[in-house]
Amino acid sequence: MLTAILFVIIGAFSFGLLGTFVKLARQDGYDTANITFSQVATGFILILLLNLLARKKKAEDWKFTTGEKVKVALHGVCVGLINIFYFLSIWYGSAGTSIVLLTQSVWMGILLESILTRKFPSPRKIIAAVVILGGTVLATNLLLAGSSIGLAAIGFGLLAAVASTCSIYLSSRVVVNKSPLRRTLFLNMGCLLAVLIIWGPSLLQSFDAAVLWKWGLALALLGMVLPPLMYVKGMPVIGVGLSGIITSLQIPVGAIFACLVLRENINVYQWTGILLIIGAIVWLNIGLLRKTNTQ
């Protein structure tokens, strides 16, 4: 149990750090197309190597039908869109604000669940969604005169949250009984395909191969390798409730490193908003955690 919790913590910290490294790569002179491709391409190579070196305990777990490969690859397209929109949000805004916008997938997931099940959300979920929205208003400085956050940063951040909501939905429904490592390989294929389709023309004109060895490895480990592998290993063991609480750590991690490394100014209103969002996520999942413990 403790090992599984540690896995999820590592995944949350990794993704929380990602925004800071994206911003550093931008400050190094690379555009979003180069940064995104370097992350996804390097991540695909690393996962491919892990697949080649891994010991296959159950051969049937490693065999995917053509239909299963396509389904996982389409899920990977959602992951690719998360990266594209999230990185664009950071490009037009800040690392701390973008990670907050990405967490809007929590209330979007509640809305999607309500639509699919045709059931009205519980009072707990409605209250949590309202608190998250209120916390977001504070965390993004929308109420302060002279706020520097632009509509582009907000728009791309919310699009990343939509893609994340779709990805979370697919994660629990698409080929869940096969090898996580093999599944991650096909997922990364779809992710790479999405990046090439959207950024292909730009990469043909301005691709700088130096970005691969300067930033590719760090970005791939933090965004494409550690989070999915750690979550797949830890979440099924500790359950949805505790997983939701632990993954919320990516918000303060992203904000703290944005302050320490990027020197982004995060005021008391923003910290209050971040704490409200984390509190709402914890409160939303506490019922699931209690239910898991009683089973």
Per-residue pLDDT of the chain (295 residues; tens, 9 = 90+): 778 889 889 988 999 999 999 999 999 999 999 999 999 999 999 999 999 988 777 777 788 899 999 999 999 999 999 999 999 999 998 888 899 999 898 889 889 888 988 889 888 889 989 999 999 888 887 766 555 678 899 999 999 999 988 888 887 778 778 888 888 899 999 999 999 999 999 999 999 999 999 999 999 999 888 888 888 778 777 766 677 778 888 889 988 998 999 888 888 888 999 999 999 888 888 766 665 555 5
What is residue 62's predicted lDDT score, i.e. its pLDDT?
Answer: 86
| Integer CA distances (angstroms), 254 to 13, 259, 261, in order | 8, 9, 10
From the list 114, 126, 131, 122, the residue with the least C-alpha distance to 273 is 131
Residue pair 139/100 in contact (Cβ under 8 Å)? The answer is yes
Q: What is the pTM of this model?
A: 0.88
Q: How far apart are CA 256 and CA 92, in angstroms?
A: 19
| Integer CA distances (angstroms), 4 to 9, 227, 229, 237, 238, in order | 9, 13, 12, 6, 7
Name 117's Cβ contacts closer than 8 Å, sequence gap at least 6.
none
User: CB atoms < 10 A from the CB of 123, how many?
Assistant: 8
